[in-house]
A = this chain, B = another copy of it.
Amino acid sequence: MAIINNRDFITARETLSAYINEKGLRETKQRQIILDAFLSSGRHITATELHKRISGAHPEIGFATVQRNLNLFCESGIAEEIKIGRQKTRYEQKIGHEHHDHLICVKCGDFIEVHDDKIENLQNKLAAANNFRPIRHKLEIYGYCGNCK
């Protein structure tokens, strides 16, 4: 199920370690287990789902720890929150995955990842024209997917 390749796996580990050292945090067994489970999971997982995956082999790891570590992964830059409507937050792996936007089906709830450099460029121009320095953006297009239209 791991979509991420081995090189990205290592990069993610290293990025997180660097962040941990920089901030004076600590490497723990739980953190390693959660990281591995996260990187081996599908592209978009919720805290609850990840906790469930881990519980089988490591029932001693609590939900709060999983949640806290997902937040840490986001801070360190190896993960990113995606929040769609009222759905619960999903955590996306960033290492080895280009930025993308989402086409979200209002019927089945599924989403497609898309990317368009021209749109990105226009966004930057738009920001500049408003004396605004952009860091990141989120574009969600809602509608009907091929299966539901």
Contact = CB atoms under 8 A, between A and B. Distances in A.
Interface residues of A, number: 32
B112 A116 contact: no
Contacts of A140: 137-139
A57 interface: no
B131 A145 contact: yes
Contacts of A133: 143-144, 149
B112 A141 contact: no
Interface stretch (A6-14, A15-23, A60-68, A122-130): A122-130
Contacts of A123: 119, 139, 141
Contacts of A85: 83
A142 B131 contact: no
25 contacts: A83-B85, A103-B132, A106-B135, A112-B132, A114-B130, A119-B119, A119-B122, A119-B123, A123-B139, A130-B146, A131-B145, A131-B146, A131-B149, A132-B141, A132-B143, A132-B144, A132-B146, A133-B143, A134-B141, A134-B143, A135-B144, A136-B141, A136-B142, A137-B142, A138-B139
